[in-house]
Every structure is written in structure tokens, then in C-alpha cells.
Amino acid sequence: MTSSPRRTGPEAIPAALDAPSPIERVGPITVAAAVYGLAYIAWERSGWGSPTVRDIVGNVAFMPLNLTVVLLNLVAASNELLDGRVRRALRLLALGSFLVLCGNAISTYYLVGLRSNPPVSWADPFYLGDSLAIITALLSVPLSRRTKLESWKFGLDAAMVVAGGGVAIWYFTVRGTADHASDAVVILLAFAYPIASLLVLLAITTVLLRGPLDGNRRAFGLLVSGISLSVVGDLTFDLLVVETGGRTASLIDALYLLAYLLMIASAELYWREPVPADSGARHYLPRRQPLSPLPYAAVATTYALLLATAFRYWTDPLSGVAIGAVLATVLVVARQVLAVRENVRLLAETAARQNEARFRALVQHSSDVIIVVRPDGTIRFVSPSAARVLRCDPAAIEGRQISDLLYGDDGEQARTFVAEAARTPGGMHPVEWRFRQPDGSALHAEVIATNLLDEPTVRGIVLNTRDVSERKRLEQQLIHQAFHDPLTGLANRALFRDRVSHALALARRQGRAITVLFLDLDDFKTVNDTLGHAEGDRLLIAAAERFRSCARVTDTVARLGGDEFGILLEDGAGCDGADELIQRLTEAMEVPFHLGGNEIPVRASVGVATAAGDESADDLLRNADVAMYAAKRGGKGRSETYQTQMYTDLRERLELEGELRSALDRDELVLHYQPIVCLRTGAVRGVEALVRWNHPRHGLLLPQHFVPLSEESGLMLPLGWWVLREACRQAQAWRLEYPELDLSVAVNLSARQLLERDLVAGTRTALIQTGVNPGAVMLEITEGTLMQQTGSMLERLQELKDLGVRLAIDDFGTGYSSLEYLRRFPIDILKIARPFVADVGAGIEKAALARAIVGLGDTLKLRTVAEGIETAEQRAALTVLGCELGQGHYFAPALPPDRLELFLDQAAQQREDAELQGPAAWVMAGMLR
């Protein structure tokens, strides 16, 4: 047995698929191995050394290559990017190469240590173990079509190769070996090595035919090439040993070196450039069932040897029987081939009949209509479902044109479609046609055409027709829902805007105007909050009906969202048509709505905008919206026509709102204080805190310029809390500076603050943080605010009263004055409104209301404060009426803190002077102010 190495190598992907060039992707280790191999061949060709030395070198020289293959495969197998089965194959290949390395080491030991080269040694099991490892490795790589039948086929193929190859090996090799050796082990090995090589070739053939799935194609191609060369080297080596009785190193070793070079290149490629497991690979599925040629070659070889022996050594009758057996076997095989072909044909015909029956059953029971037409549109076949879907007799329409079954332009489109389908192989994109029904209605159908003119069993264009009428109805319903309000049935904002856009385009071409009305229901939120959303929806439906009844047929009425509606006036209606429509709307809205068992009056604010130029639909809707808000700010149930200044005002309002949000952070808000004095003596008893905005561009703004805006924008709460804290802080500072005046401070509370749950807690915090005496703080509330949510309001006011602050009703007499509320609420002070104060100096009759309020305060034991005193006559008359306190420009306007301190200094000085001159002088000083 030769001491030449037996094979090693990594992974699996067929050379037939993307077979790589052996020199591609050459790594440094491969280059070093090539240089080493060339050096060895050069030494061997030189003939240097004795035969013993050459045998030793022949064994030792391959050991570094064995070790290189072992290490490279083990390193590559440790890479987790590779498929697990590929890594297992690499480890098996490393094991096989290690077995060869051990065999070479044992052979070297026999040559060097024992100085012998026996035909059988302990190296032979290692060499044969290498073949077993390679076969297992090749069958471990990921392959397509892994079935149990494949395993049985491989076993039978292996048995055929063993049987047929064994006969050939016995005839050519073992017989000659047996003549010279009587040892059974030598004879067994003469069988074993060639059979192992043939099984390795069978494994290679099986892997290539079944199709490896790993993506490392170049590495696998190099591996298969290397293993194949090593097998050729083994078989050639065995034949040469038999023929020559010794080894011819140059030729065989060159094959082994090239095999090792390819396997080293393969392992290095697996190591350096691995392809991840999931990148792999296309599934290799050949169209026909592949057959391995090796088993059949082994059988053919056996029969060839049988015929050769029969003719060469004629033995009667055995040779004749052998020739007859071979001929009979050939004829049986030929007959079996014909039988197989006949079975294949019968199976194909049976499958065709089954497919035809299945197709016919599907067509007969299909819910779709199958129509086969000629290229000219003539109907050749109609499935029975046409009676149910198209409601016509299938036999009656065969031979007619497909266009005769369709409505209008669909017939011409069908002729064009069929002609195009006849020119286009395969399927066409779906189209929709309208089929005539017996009752005159149209059935919407989706048609898909498939060109089967080249199909012998069809010879036509197949129209697969499906009823989509229900889908069309659903689409129309969805389109309607997409452009209409589900509650009122009116057009929604999207449809309204689209119609405004089209109306504008048409109006520009015709040189006329269009008008848009924007309507908003007044007090709709109140209805929703008090009566519930169900009644709110009823109000929206009823209002929509009134708007629709007032509009013309050509007008578009839409619900734009919430309680906002829009009306588009076309046909050149202009301002006159808008005025008439607004008049009808106003009259219609004057009738109360029946909601929740009550008659509820609801008005609508209307904004009007007319296109006058290049406005877009969005511009026109925005202008009408701006006009509507202008109408709403002016009062309820009004209408306003858009003016350019409205948009300017709105933008300024928005800018002002944005600036107001940051005014607190920039310390732009300040408090001015108006003194509250004793009308009889003129002594300062307190101040009212009035907020001002020191605007960087507009200067000092009064409350009427920004307080309503803060109410609308939700900024009233932070503004109110700041005013309360700042007023308390300033009052405490003045009370410490002017202790003799015992000053109090009045702060106005907004309706939003009174509804806030944290009102009492916030007030308590302000009092604690500033340290002011609660009795020195007076909170002013308007009458209208007092009347809202009386139950919770009474509870909240009582909690404020428990803090120690005083409560006042501001502008008393202008709201919902009620003696019952005055009796129930914990009020301390009534502030007489300016209109009543203005009349007190004009005579007894005009002073009657002021006299009544003062008398009411006396009766209920409430102090009274008169606001807006401008003249001495008003002061004198109020003093006569018994009013205790007053404020107004007659005494002093609202002053900034520094100027008020000057005023307080003067008041304190006058008090000291009056005290020095006596009580009469003090009284006179107050009266003469």
C-alpha cells in the first residue's frame, strides 16, 4: 500500500452550478502550498537520494499538507456564519485528513524505525477511515430533496457499485495479487482500496446531482475538484502497483499535490470569505429526475467482463449460457425501458384526463362566468353559471359577438380589448364592463382575459367574468360617505371645498361672482352641556333642514364641522342673492327649536364672502369664516360681510394673543391702582388693582384691549393668578409703609377663575406667600358670574369667606339683581355701577336707582362703593344718599405704584395736618377735595 496521502476538504456546492476557476480567490496559504509542491516535484524529478530516502521523503513530504488541511478546516468550521451542516462537514473532512496524517506517520515509522515496507500495516485502517470520513462529509452538506427514498436509492447505488466494481477489481487486481500473496488481509485490502475510491466517486456524483444548497460555491467547487483528483490518484496508484510491482512517484505524486492544493484553497476560502447560511442559496431543482451513471457503469462493466471471459475462455456449456443470459438480460432491460416509457405516457394521459375533468367540474360549478371568444369577438363557449349571473341562456349567446351583450361604449371597448388580448400572450389587466340584463338594468362585471389561442384544448381567448355589482354599490356608498356628513346628510367640508373650487373656475371664465355664507349656531355648546349630545344632534339635524329649505336648488349646503355650516351661492347671485338668503335664514331661525320637551331659541351668526379676484377656495372659506367671527363678536344672530380690514384685525388679534402668552414671562404686565376714599372725609381706605399691559410696540394697553382676548384664548387663569399675587404683595408692602391708613386692595375675579376648582387653594397660597391680612383683600365678582351654577358657586364663595377675605358685587344693578341671591351669598360690599353714579347729580328722579341701591345696602347691612365719580356734585349727592365709599377720576385715576405712593404721602400729610387743626378741619379737608 502506498504511503501517499488520501483526501481531505471542506463543504459542498456543485461544480456544475457556478463552477469556479481553481485560481480564483487564491490566498497566501494556498500560494505557500503551491510553492512547497513545486519544490517537492523538482526534488523528485531530480532523482536525488536512495530508494529508501525517496520512500521516506515521499511519506514525510505530504504530512505538512495534511496538517494544513486539518487546521484550515477546523478554523473554518468554528465560524458561526456558516450553515451548521457545512461546519459539520468541515470537521469530518478535518478528521479524514488527520487520519491520513496518522497513516503517513505510521508508514514513516515502518520505513525509518523498522526499515521495512510491508504490504499490510497499521496505516491501512487510517487510510480507509479517511474515505469513510469523506463520504460522510459529502452526504452531510445541505442538499435539496432529502427523502427516505433518496437514502434507499443511494444504498442500492452503493451496492451496485460495490458488486460491479468488485467484479472488475477482482478480475484485474485481486487475481494477480492472489497469485503472488496468500495472505487474506492483502487480498482484502486489494478489494478495499478501489471499492472505497469508487464509493467516494459515488458520493460526489450523488451530491452534484441532488444539488447542494450552500452559498459557498467557489469553495465547494475547489473541494470537489481536489477530492476527485485524489480518487483518480488512488485508482491510478493501485493499477500501477499491480502492473509494475512498485510506485512511480512523479506522476501520481503530482496528482496528489494538485489535489491537496485545491483542498487547501477551498478550506482557506471557507475561512477567509464565508457566505452566511441564510444567503445561500438558490434551491437546485433539476427538471428531470437525475440518475447517477456510476452504478450503471459498474453493471455494464460486469457484463462486459462476463462476455469477454465467455469468448476468451470458451467453456461448454457455461460460456453459451453466459452469452444467452447477457442477451436475455439486455432484452429484458430494453423491454422494461419500453414499458416504463409506456407507463409514463399512460400516466400523462391519465393526468390530462383528470385535469380536464377537474377543469370541467370547476367551470361547471364556478361562481364566475367563463367565456371563450375568438379573436374577432365571437363567443365559442359560455359556462353554465351565465344563466345565474348574466340571467341569459348560455346556448343562446354562443355564436354572438361579446359586444352585443354590453351597454353603450363598453361594446366598442370590448372589441378593442379582445383584439389586443389576441396579440398579447398570457393574461391582460382586468377591465370593467356593463352587461345588459333582461329587465334593462346593467350588471357591473370585472373581466380578466387570458390568451390561450395556442392551447390545443381551448383555441381561444378566455374571459373570466365576475359580478362586481355589489362592490360597485359599496364603492358608491363609500364615496357618498366620504363626501357627505353622516348626521345631517349634507355635503361635508371636502365636497364643499371641491365645489367652491369648481365654481370659482367657472365664474372666472364667465366673468361672474360667487358668494359663500359661513354659519355658526349661537349657544350650541350651552345646548350640548345642558340637554345632552343627543339633543345637540337633533338641533344640528333640524338646523340643517332649515338651511336647506332656505337655499335654492342650485346652492350647495354643507356641514363643515361641529355647529358650523356653509352655503355656496352660484349663478351670479352676488350680494343681493346673499341678502335675500340671509333674510330667509334669519326668519327661519326665529322659530324656536323643540328640544328636550322645551322650546329653545337658537340663532345663527353668519359671515358672507364674495369672490372678487384671484381668491382660491381656501381664501374664500377663510374670509367667510373671519366675517362670521366678526358677526359673533358683535352680538348673536347677526351677519357680517367680509372686509379686508377684518382679516387684518384677525391677524393682529392672533399676533396679540401670541405676544400675550409671553407677556408674563417678559414682565410686561403691570398693575395700576385707583384709590377708594371715604366720601365724607376724603380719607383713603383702599385701592382697586387694575391690570395694564406695557406692550413693546403699542404702549400701555388698557384691560379692554387684552382681557377679553385672554378669556377666549385660555390665558385668563395665569393672568388672574398673577394679578392676585402681585396685588396682595403690593398691598402688604403699603400696609407696612403706611400703617396708619389701614389700606385694603380690591381684585377683580373673572368668571373663569370662579369656575376653577383650585380657586380657594390658590387664594390661600397667595395670602400665605405675601403675608397680607386676609381682611385687607376684597375680591370683586360681577352679577352675571354670580348667577352661574348657584349651588357650587355658593359653596365656593363661602370657602373664600372662610379665608377671611371680603367679597364685593361689581357693577351692581346692571345684571341679574336679585334680593334672594343677595340674602344667600356671603357678600360684604355692593359697588354701584357707573351709569347710576352719573345720574345722581342730575336731580332727585334720576338719583332714584342709586338711592335704592344704597338703601338696599343699609337694609342688608352691606357697605356701598360708588364707581366712576367725576364731579363734586356727584360726590355730594352720594354723601347725602348715605353712600360710604367712592372712587373715580374726581379723586384720582388708576396710578402706577410710584405715583400712588405720592398720592398716599399727600393723603397722610393732610391727615396729620387735619389732626393738628382738630376734627372740624379734618372734615373740611375731606369735603374740599
Task: Report DSSP letters for 700-713, one per residue.
Answer: EEPHHHHHHHHHHH
CB atoms near residue 825 (< 10 Å): 18
Tell me the pTM: 0.45
* Number of helical H runs and strand E runs in the chain: 34, 22
Distances (CA, A) of 136 to 10, 86, 295, 384, 630: 12, 12, 19, 60, 92
Q: Which three cell numbers stand for residue 763?
A: 387664594
Q: How far apart are CA 540 and CA 207, in angstroms?
A: 79
Q: Position of cell 452469452?
A: 323
Quick one: pLDDT at residue 20? 43
**Bridging pattern class, strands 885-886 and 863-866:** parallel
Quick one: pLDDT at residue 677? 94
Q: How many residues would you count in the chain?
A: 929
Q: What are the two backbone dihedrals, phi and then psi, of residue 872, each rounded to the nearest 5 degrees?
A: -65, -35
Quick one: pLDDT at residue 789? 54
Please give the distance of CA 721 from its chain centroid, rounded to a whole number. Answer: 44
Q: Is the peptide bond before 486 cis (omega within 30 degrees of 0)?
A: no
Q: Is the dihedral angle over the CA atoms 142, 147, 149, 151 positive or is it negative?
A: positive
Outline where 78-147 has alpha helix (H).
84-112, 123-140
Radius of gyration of the chain (CA): 55
Q: What are the two backbone dihedrals, phi and then psi, of residue 827, each rounded to the nearest 5 degrees?
A: -90, 140
The count of C-alpha atoms lying within 13 angstroms of the C-alpha of 374, restricted to the half-sphere facing its C-beta, is 8
Judge contact between 403 and 412, C-beta under 8 A. Answer: yes
Q: Which three cell numbers stand for residue 582?
A: 340671509
Quick one: pLDDT at residue 207? 75
The count of C-alpha atoms lying within 13 angstroms of the C-alpha of 618, restricted to the half-sphere facing its C-beta, is 0
Which parts of the chain have pLDDT scores under 50?
1-24, 246-248, 279-288, 919-929
Q: Which three cell numbers stand for residue 773?
A: 391680612
Quick one: pLDDT at residue 348? 77
Above pLDDT 70, what percent of the chain? 78
3 state SS of 629 = helix
Quick one: pLDDT at residue 8? 34
